Amino acid sequence: MIAEEDDINVLILNDAPVVLQFNAIAAERVLYKRDADKVADFVEIVLTRYGDYQIDMAFFSREHFEGLKEAFRDGGQ
């Protein structure tokens, strides 16, 4: 059995957003691998891109959260 669910979604990760690529790698459920070297290269690229992305995303999330707190503190205006 491949998955516990009845539905399986197939996605080409090459063009997916970096967060989705990272989450797919983190799940560690490889269904098919034709070229181990290409997979290793892909993982390396994704981990590097995700590391760079996480810095910006963490900053954006903090700024966004602070903005929301301000807006609600001021009456939601």
In the chain, where are the structural domains located?
A: 13-73
CB-CB contact of 44 with 33 (8 Å): no
- Report pLDDT for 74: 72
* DSSP letter string, 28-75: T--S--S-HHHHHHHHHHHHHHHHHHHHHHHHHHHHHHHHHHHHHHTT
pLDDT grade for 46, boundaries at 50, 70 and 90: very high
Please state, in angstroms and rounded to a whole number, the distance separating the CA atoms of residues 66 and 57.
Answer: 14
- State pTM to two decimals: 0.61
Please state, in angstroms and rounded to a whole number, the distance separating the CA atoms of residues 47 and 18.
Answer: 9
- Report pLDDT for 66: 85
